[in-house]
Amino acid sequence: NIYFLTEKGYLYALDSYGKLIWKVFVDMSTFKTPIISNSLIYTLNDLGSLYSIDTNGKVVWEFPLLTNQLVTHGAYLLASKDNMLFAAVNGKNEGTLFAIKDKKVVFTYKTGLISSNPAVDELGNVYIGDADGKVYAINSAGKLLWSFTTNNGSIQSGCTISSDGTIFAVTSQNTLYAITKNGQLRWKYNLPSGTFSPVVIANDGTLFVNARDELYVFNDYILSVEGSSSCDVTLEPKKSHYAPNEIIKLTAKPKLPFSFLYWKSSPDEQIYKDNPLYLTMNMNKKIGREEIHIKAVVSLLAPIYKYNIEASSNGYGKITPEKATVVMGDSLTFTFQPIEFYTVKDVLLDGISVINSVTQLDNGSFTYTLSNINQDHKIYVKFEKLNYCIVAKAGEGGKIVPSGIITLNPHESVIFTIIPDFGYEVKDVLVDGKSVGKEFTHGFLNVLGNHTITAEFQKQTFIIEANSVGPGNIEPVGKIRVYYGDSKTFNFIPNEGMKVADVNVDNISIGPQTSYTFTKISTNHNITVFFERKPIEYKIILKIGEEGFSVNGVVKKLDSPPVIKNGRTLVAIRPIIESIGGTISWNANNRSVYIETDFALITLWIGKPNATVEIRGTGISEIKPIDPDNSKVVPEIINSRTMLPLRFISENLGGKVDWDPINKTITIVFVL
């Protein structure tokens, strides 16, 4: 009977005359092929359900594989020999291979979207290709055996398995792949057009590929090669079967007294005269697996059996043997032993150098072998006195004297001098590849061998020690290593409210800078940057008779309002001094007032017209009159408050005093 599905979801059964036996509705079952196993028909619908139907059209069971989703992009069924069902089903974004037995899922395996029929071998291993161009081999337990990536489009023909386990599949890029059972590429072939049909394999191993309107036929080759007792033959590679287009190397090795004539193949009776012969397995000879036989044909050489070999030299050594007679095809080995301090320079065979075929032994002797002798020969050996070579090289930054290849006789000596360039120093000296340290001379005494000496140099390095004093940083800081001739810049970064006061380079002041660069460095250096606080401007405004005053716009209060006495303003000055960062103290014993700021130190006495002033950093204390024009201007105690002369104190603390007689206001500006 014939069973098929329609796009309307019916499974039809027809007899051999095309008469309808029955039909069953399985719901949305487009483009899916039913299969038959153990007299049951199995099919999938687009809702992901697997149906089992008997030959009478009765649904035996229904089994859902996908839940709440449609089968997309196709679905495929096949059965193994042990009644295992395999369903290759595509969901929304991936494919799933289901293994079902006795209405139970044995395993599932996720792949890319499946675009072709799977295949199963006798061991129950499943082979399936996906839209990503991968072929998967999955065993009967659901474990991945291997995967093979074509990188050549999707697998769209389905997988086919040959009797030797080779898997065949065609990609969407029209390439036929032959993959070994171990997942390795055996061969591939670019078809002129593509196919959705799986490869068909005939009983004799021939492959048939239906590529749209054309049928392509492929076959393997069996090659047998025949030699004889007079000729050995080899073939590479040696295999039982060869793939189309595979190249085999055939080599004939005739035995004396025979020589190679040609190869002869059958059944096509072709003659090939190349030896070795490179034979291509041509797929277009005939349909079916082709057996090729090829034979090496030889002929007998003229009966020359014995040859004379003579060896001589220029002296300075011994040759063994000096004369010999050999049979055709034999080999003969010569030994050359130079006298002390001599070596073999060249060996001539019939006037032609064969030195590249001469072997030196550990005992100082040399050997040369003549093989497959078929004529008389003369050997001549040139001995020469040994010269030993010392190869002297210097890296960048200096030289070695002498340099190059220095040739010495045995027991001679030589001394090398290592000289760095200006600004460089010796880094290391290597003798025969091993370090001997930072040497400036090195000698080879009583030389009896070849040597090498290499001088390595590096730029001289120097240290710049960078430090900072005060609130700020120098970058970089610490001990900085630099190379000879380099330049190095240091940047000075004051903290907020600070400035660079001075920079000392090699203990010499260069004044305040924002950065400093050492150029063409050739010695060690030091650099120190000093930071100090930036000057702050204080603007103080006060008014006669009022306790309130302002400092940079901020209102503060005096203990007592300023007064004018003897033509000068007296004020309880403590809040003003403290507002500019100074201090003021009272000595009751001698009734004196001591004022201290970063600018100066002032001492005044109640009722006295003079005061002492010491400007910071001078170390000199000077007695000054408070008012040179009016000795009545003195510190006084008024209403229990110590009132001090404002102008004298302000000006000696570095301030500038302005008097507004109209508004009776005093403005004092300090820059401290």
The least confident of 163-177, 276-290, 348-362, 554-568 is 276-290
For the cut 80, the answer to whether the pLDDT of residue 32 exceeds it is no
Question: What's the half-sphere exposure (Cβ side, CA atoms, 13 Å) at 237?
Answer: 6
For the cut 60, the answer to whether the pLDDT of residue 486 exceeds it is yes
The least confident of 123-137, 205-219, 621-635 is 205-219
The least confident of 87-96, 160-169, 376-385 is 87-96
Shared-domain flag, residues 228 and 211: no
To which residue do tokens 């403590």 refer?
574
Per-residue pLDDT band at 283 (split at 50, 70, 90)? very low
Shared-domain flag, residues 602 and 516: no
Q: What is the mean pLDDT of residues 591-609?
A: 95
Could you tell me the CATH number of the domain that includes residue 377?
A: 2.60.40.10
Domain end: 200, 218, 236, which one?
A: 218
Per-residue DSSP letter, 228: B
Query: Between these two residues, 226 and 185, which has the higher pLDDT value?
Result: 185
Shared-domain flag, residues 377 and 396: no
Shared-domain flag, residues 281 and 315: no
Could you tell me the CATH number of the domain that includes residue 195?
A: 2.130.10.10
Shared-domain flag, residues 504 and 642: no
Query: Between these two residues, 651 and 87, which has the higher pLDDT value?
Result: 651
Domain end: 269, 300, 331, which one?
A: 300
Residue 70 pLDDT: 54
3-state secondary structure of 462: strand
pLDDT digits (tens, 9 = 90+) for 288-339: 345 566 776 655 544 446 899 999 999 999 999 999 998 888 899 999 999 9
Shared-domain flag, residues 21 and 159: yes
Q: Residue 439: which domain range?
A: 388-459
Per-residue pLDDT band at 238 (split at 50, 70, 90)? confident
The least confident of 197-201, 482-486, 635-639, 648-652 is 197-201
Question: What sign does the CA torsion over 34, 36, 37, 41 have?
Answer: positive
Residue 284 pLDDT: 39
Per-residue pLDDT band at 376 (split at 50, 70, 90)? very high
Per-residue pLDDT band at 3 (split at 50, 70, 90)? confident
Shared-domain flag, residues 105 and 239: no
| 504, 634 Cβ separation under 8 angstroms | no
Partner residues linked to 22 by β-bridges: 13
Paired sense of beta strands 221-226 and 290-300, if any: parallel
pLDDT digits (tens, 9 = 90+) for 202-222: 876 778 888 766 777 776 666
Shared-domain flag, residues 79 and 168: yes
pLDDT digits (tens, 9 = 90+) for 336-357: 999 988 889 999 999 999 999 9
Shared-domain flag, residues 110 and 175: yes
For the cut 70, the answer to whether the pLDDT of residue 39 exceeds it is yes
Paired sense of beta strands 342-349 and 271-272, if any: unpaired
Shared-domain flag, residues 615 and 560: yes
Q: What is the mean pLDDT of residues 500-525?
A: 96
Residue 289 pLDDT: 41
pLDDT digits (tens, 9 = 90+) for 452-475: 999 999 999 999 999 999 999 999
Q: What is the mean pLDDT of residues 412-439?
A: 95
For the cut 90, the answer to whether the pLDDT of residue 386 exceeds it is no
Residue 612 pLDDT: 97
**Across all residues in the chain, what is the average pLDDT?**
88
Residue 304 pLDDT: 47
For the cut 80, the answer to whether the pLDDT of residue 80 exceeds it is no
How far apart, in whole angstroms, are the C-alpha atoms of residue 539 and residue 536? 10
Residue 302 pLDDT: 44
% of the chain residues with pLDDT over 90: 54
Shared-domain flag, residues 525 and 544: no
CA 344 centroid distance within chain: 49
How far apart, in whole angstroms, are the C-alpha atoms of residue 518 and residue 516? 7
Total domains in the fold of the chain: 6
Q: What is the mean pLDDT of residues 74-93?
A: 73
Shared-domain flag, residues 211 and 235: no
Domain end: 533, 552, 578, which one?
A: 533
Q: What is the mean pLDDT of residues 633-643?
A: 94
Contacts 24+ apart (CB under 8 A), 565-568: 565/633, 565/636, 565/643, 566/630, 566/632, 566/633, 567/630, 567/633, 568/627, 568/630, 568/633, 568/645, 568/646, 568/647
Please give the structure tokens belonging to residue 2: 């014939």
For the cut 80, the answer to whether the pLDDT of residue 591 exceeds it is yes
The least confident of 87-96, 160-169, 656-665 is 87-96
E strands present in 192-316: 200-201, 207-211, 214-218, 221-226, 231-236, 247-254, 258-266, 271-272, 277-280, 290-300, 306-313
The least confident of 141-150, 240-249, 270-279, 593-602 is 240-249
Residue 290 pLDDT: 53
- Of the candidates 512, 501, 510, the residue with the CA atom closest to the CA atom of residue 534: 501
To which residue do tokens 């020359």 refer?
304
Q: What is the mean pLDDT of residues 593-615?
A: 95
